[in-house]
Structure 1
Amino acid sequence: MRFGLFNLMNQFGLSQRDVYQGTIDCVRLADELGFDTAWFAEHHFSNYSLCPSPLMMAAAVARETRRIRLGPAVIVAPLYNPIRLSEEIALLDQLSEGRVVLGLGSGYQRFEFEAFGADLAERQDRLLEIWAIVDQAIHQNRFKHSGRFYQIPDVPQAIELYNRRRMETYFVSWSPEIIARAVATDAVPFITVGWGDSKALAGMHDFVRQKYQEAGFSLAGRRFAAQRYVFVSDDRNELRKVAEGIRYAGRCAGHMRVGAQHLDGHIIADEPVAGEPSLETIIASVPIGDAETVAERLIAEIRANAITDLSCFMMPAGVAPKAVLRSMERFGSDVMPIVVKAIAEDTKRREVA
């Protein structure tokens, strides 16, 4: 079982300094607790995320950590020049001494694509080409590509991977061509359902399973990554604050998906979206609460969806970093051991059977 720490870096009632330093402190603690990976989001132009460059953020925390792997979740590939992207991934791998994992996605926020002058309708086709270019550049140290969107002459990519192994890749996009490339390169599908409950998570898992089938493959037996809000606290008022942060981020994402957000400078107005859950529903539906509740919910979801990689979103919007660090410490001492033991016992039972 692999545990990841996801960093959206939302600014909601916090200073920008709190967001950046708080993220660094949380990743440092995750490294100490034995988390496998620290993930960094990519978004632009608003307080939904103050991380426009996940590779730069990963480089910053590489010097603050020793073991934890670092990666973007995810690079919005159609917004990049593939040459510079490839070189910066390889550079980060050298700076982190081989700790980079790669997350690639096609993007979804019309607001961002329009500002970059990119065509949202082309996003999956561009992702497919960029993935091929990056894969060749970082593993073969060559650029050579002639495609619909990108033409690159045969030139060297100078920066080698730190230990010359194949870089592990996660992906978020579901066209048949992208899934075929994922299967060919052993890439890991990565899903999230935000404030959704266990039923929504199962529905998303089934969606990905169906997409694999439509592409001529099976999801069964493959690694599968899922992201969940996780927060450990016995304080009901604190959990309500956590739920408010989860709701705000969900509202932002919902509005930005269709370009309906209202901005005051870079701050997105906290306005409801149709069909959103109540705060009580959020508290009852996601893995937040006391340690026993969080462990039970996570174990049930891991079992139901064959999750091998759990990305924990542990710093909801507006929650002070010191509260997040307390929650993380309790997660490490009171939740992780229970989850690891339960999943290990499941594995033993399957092996015996």
Structure 2
Amino acid sequence: MILSPTPFNQGDQMKFHIAINLERMDAQTDMRAVRDHVLEMVQMADRAGFEIAWAAEHHALEMTIAPNPFQIMTWWADHTENIRLGCGVANAAYWHPINLAGEAAMVDLLSDGRLDLGLGSGAYQREFDRMKPGLAQSDSWRYMQEMLPLVRKLWQGDVTHDGTYWQFPAATSCPKPLQGEVPMWVAARSPITFDYAVANHCNIMSWPFSMPFAEAEKYKAQLDEAIETAGNGWDGTFAMMRHTAVYETKEDRAAAMDAIRSVLGRFGNLMTKTGAVHNGFPDEVSAEDLEGNVRVDPEMLEENLMFGSPDQVIAKLRRYEALGVDAFIYYASMGLGMAEQKRSLQSFIDHVMPEFT
């Protein structure tokens, strides 16, 4: 039997999450400073009442240092009080189900029941070429769809499994989660993934990258269609992630714009495989070489992303709220300086969040 997690967003108020990576844009940046900065940002979010802090999974990339999200979440759990710890997301193709179920349940145990488990299909073919050679990223959703119900079963007791990708004799997750029903999340962009998430009573996170608001509207339409098709009374949380920078000076605006354009150039390298990666640092691809150059145009970026003054950000969030987004994921990592990141988050906490509570 598939269990439905209790939705977070019981009322009409938008909830706020934070997603942050340990990131280095150059080899001169001290990893200890990166470590301390990320923890301080998560602690700021915890004190401010953010609902979830999300840790990603990526490999062999300095701009997203996250080889094991469960290790990161356990670290955060030990230094926070209330914020939930979200795996956003584990790449199902890289894990064995028994391993993943046990790692996740251990986080729930050590955090006193603050785990949110997200599964996804990965982002970069470069990672698959190293972590799962021979698997195309476009086919990895099949692993996720076999993994998710299996993890739920392993948390309940002994399971014998003879599937397409994994086979094993009777086994169970040790430990078991403290929560009777661990909230499950699926990273969704395509209709097939929305359909699967809704059919399996999972919460949904979407990321329109640097695309216009119309991309968010497309995701909501796919969600509505999936709910209608499933007819199962889906009552989960629909979360939307955007790179976020709240600035109140021209200098901070310029810093945010320079940072996001640089990151998008490196991200474009990974997505299109048009540049090299040296010691974990992707070369930056020029805006002219990226497909759809308008996505990196400063004016379009300021319009599409959660960038702007507090008033501008509030107005943008109101559009997402009206669209039906239950939770906004403040994506802090984009190569921005540590001091600027903290100023942005503090401004969001002081000036933006009060408008939604």
Q: What TM-score do you get using the length of structure 1 for normalisation?
A: 0.87
Once superposed, what is the RMSD of the aligned Cα atoms?
2.3
Structure 2: segments with no counterpart, 5+ residues = 1-13
Asked if the contact 1:143/1:155 (under 8 Å) is kept, the reply is: yes
Q: Residue 157 of structure 2 corresponds to which residue in structure 1?
A: 141
Deviation at residue 34 of structure 1 after TM alignment: 0.3
The answer to whether residue 342 in structure 2 is matched with residue 308 in structure 1 is: no
CA–CA distance in structure 2, aligned partners of residues 234 and 179 of structure 1:
37
Q: Residues 125 and 284 from structure 1, CA distance in 2 versus in 1: closer, same or farther, beyond 3 angstroms?
A: closer
Query: Which deviates more, 25-34 or 219-228?
Result: 219-228
The answer to whether residue 167 in structure 2 is matched with residue 151 in structure 1 is: yes
Q: Residue 9 of structure 2 corresponds to which residue in structure 1?
A: none
CA–CA distance in structure 2, aligned partners of residues 338 and 34 of structure 1:
14
The answer to whether residue 320 in structure 2 is matched with residue 320 in structure 1 is: no
Q: Residue 10 of structure 2 corresponds to which residue in structure 1?
A: none
Asked if the contact 2:191/2:222 (under 8 Å) is kept, the reply is: no
Query: Counterpart of 1:151 in structure 2: which amino acid?
Result: Q
Q: Residue 183 of structure 1 corresponds to which residue in structure 2?
A: 198
Deviation at residue 105 of structure 1 after TM alignment: 0.2
The answer to whether residue 292 in structure 2 is matched with residue 275 in structure 1 is: yes
Q: Residue 294 of structure 1 corresponds to which residue in structure 2?
A: 313
Length, aligned pairs only: 335
Query: Counterpart of 1:172 in structure 2: which amino acid?
Result: A
Q: Residue 195 of structure 1 corresponds to which residue in structure 2?
A: 210
Query: Counterpart of 2:241 in structure 1: which amino acid?
Result: Q
Query: Counterpart of 1:55 in structure 2: which amino acid?
Result: F
Q: Residues 203 and 236 from structure 1, CA distance in 2 versus in 1: closer, same or farther, beyond 3 angstroms?
A: farther
CA–CA distance in structure 2, aligned partners of residues 81 and 224 of structure 1:
27
The answer to whether residue 67 in structure 2 is matched with residue 52 in structure 1 is: yes
Given the alignment, which residue of 255, 278, 301 partners 2:269?
A: 255
Query: Counterpart of 2:23 in structure 1: which amino acid?
Result: N
Query: Which deviates more, 328-337 or 222-231?
Result: 222-231
Q: Residues 98 and 128 from structure 1, CA distance in 2 versus in 1: closer, same or farther, beyond 3 angstroms?
A: same
- SS of the equivalent of 1:43 reads coil
Q: Residues 220 and 187 from structure 1, CA distance in 2 versus in 1: closer, same or farther, beyond 3 angstroms?
A: closer
The answer to whether residue 82 in structure 2 is matched with residue 64 in structure 1 is: no
CA–CA distance in structure 2, aligned partners of residues 157 and 218 of structure 1:
28
Q: Residues 208 and 243 from structure 1, CA distance in 2 versus in 1: closer, same or farther, beyond 3 angstroms?
A: farther
Q: What TM-score do you get using the length of structure 2 for normalisation?
A: 0.86
Query: Counterpart of 2:61 in structure 1: which amino acid?
Result: S
Asked if the contact 2:102/2:176 (under 8 Å) is kept, the reply is: no
Structure 1: segments with no counterpart, 5+ residues = 341-353
Given the alignment, which residue of 206, 218, 243 partners 2:257?
A: 243
Deviation at residue 294 of structure 1 after TM alignment: 1.0
CA–CA distance in structure 2, aligned partners of residues 292 and 179 of structure 1:
32
Deviation at residue 124 of structure 1 after TM alignment: 1.5
Asked if the contact 1:124/1:175 (under 8 Å) is kept, the reply is: no
Q: Residues 335 and 202 from structure 1, CA distance in 2 versus in 1: closer, same or farther, beyond 3 angstroms?
A: same
Deviations 1:8-48 (A, max 9, x none): 33322543333222111100110000000000111111223
- SS of the equivalent of 1:242 reads helix
Asked if the contact 2:239/2:325 (under 8 Å) is kept, the reply is: yes
The answer to whether residue 57 in structure 2 is matched with residue 42 in structure 1 is: yes
Percent of aligned positions that are identical? 22
Deviation at residue 220 of structure 1 after TM alignment: 8.5
Q: Residue 111 of structure 1 corresponds to which residue in structure 2?
A: 126
Query: Counterpart of 1:2 in structure 2: which amino acid?
Result: K
Q: Residue 333 of structure 1 corresponds to which residue in structure 2?
A: 350
Query: Which deviates more, 265-274 or 276-285?
Result: 276-285
Asked if the contact 2:16/2:52 (under 8 Å) is kept, the reply is: yes
Asked if the contact 2:15/2:326 (under 8 Å) is kept, the reply is: yes
Given the alignment, which residue of 223, 244, 247 partners 1:233?
A: 247
Query: Counterpart of 2:82 in structure 1: which amino acid?
Result: R
- SS of the equivalent of 1:74 reads strand
Asked if the contact 2:189/2:219 (under 8 Å) is kept, the reply is: no
Asked if the contact 1:195/1:247 (under 8 Å) is kept, the reply is: no
Asked if the contact 1:209/1:219 (under 8 Å) is kept, the reply is: no
Deviations 1:75-113 (A, max 9, x none): 111111111111100111111110000111011311111
